[in-house]
Amino acid sequence: METTLIILKPDAVQRGLMGQIISRFENKGLAIVGCRMMTISQELAAVHYEAHKERPFYKGLVAFMTSSPVLVMAVRGVGAIDIARKMMGATFGSTAEPGTIRGDYGVSNSFNLIHGSDSADAAEREIGLFFNDGEVQNPSRAIEGWVYDMSGDQPE
C-alpha cells in the first residue's frame, strides 16, 4: 500500500467538483485516509512549489493556489501514486484524454483542477507539509478483499 497527496485546486472547489472527483477515487477502490479543506498560505505554497521557483509560471501558480480554499487528501491503495496520476490525466485540460479528471472537467491550460504527488518521495514530503502527525488514518477496510486479490501474501 502507498499513500499519495491529492489537492483539489481552487478551480475544482469553486466549480463544485469536489464530490465528483472524490467519488472517482473511491469508485476506483482507493481509500481517502486524510482530508482537510484549507486556504494555502503564501509560505506553504512557496515550500510546496519550491522546485518551480525559477520557472516563469511560478508566481502565477502560487497566486492561484492561494486564491481560494483547496481540498487536500491523503489517498491510499496499491499503486496509488501511479493510479491517481493516470486518473488525473495530462497536465492541461485541453489535451487530457476523455475519461480522466482533467479530460472530463477541464479545458484550461492554467487551471488544471488537481495536483497529485509524482513519486513516493514527493508523496511523503508533501503529506508532511499538509498533514500533522496522526491526521492521516490507517483504517482497516472490510472491502479490501473485494478491491484486491488477497489470496497471496500481498494484495494485488
Please tell me the distance from the alpha carbon of residue 36 to that of residue 134, in angstroms, as a whole number: 13
**Catalytic sites, residue numbers:** 115
In this structure, how many other beta carbons lie within 10 angstroms of the beta carbon of residue 61? 16
Q: Which residue has cell 505554497? A: 45
Complete DSSP assignment for 73-135: EEEEETTHHHHHHHHH-SSSTTTSPTTSHHHHH---SS--SEEE-SSHHHHHHHHHHH--TT-
List, in order, residues 6 or more apart from 79 with CB less than 8 Å away. Answer: 2
| Cα(113)–Cα(110) distance, integer angstroms | 9
User: Are residues 139 and 126 in contact, defined by beta-carbon separation less than 8 angstroms?
Assistant: no
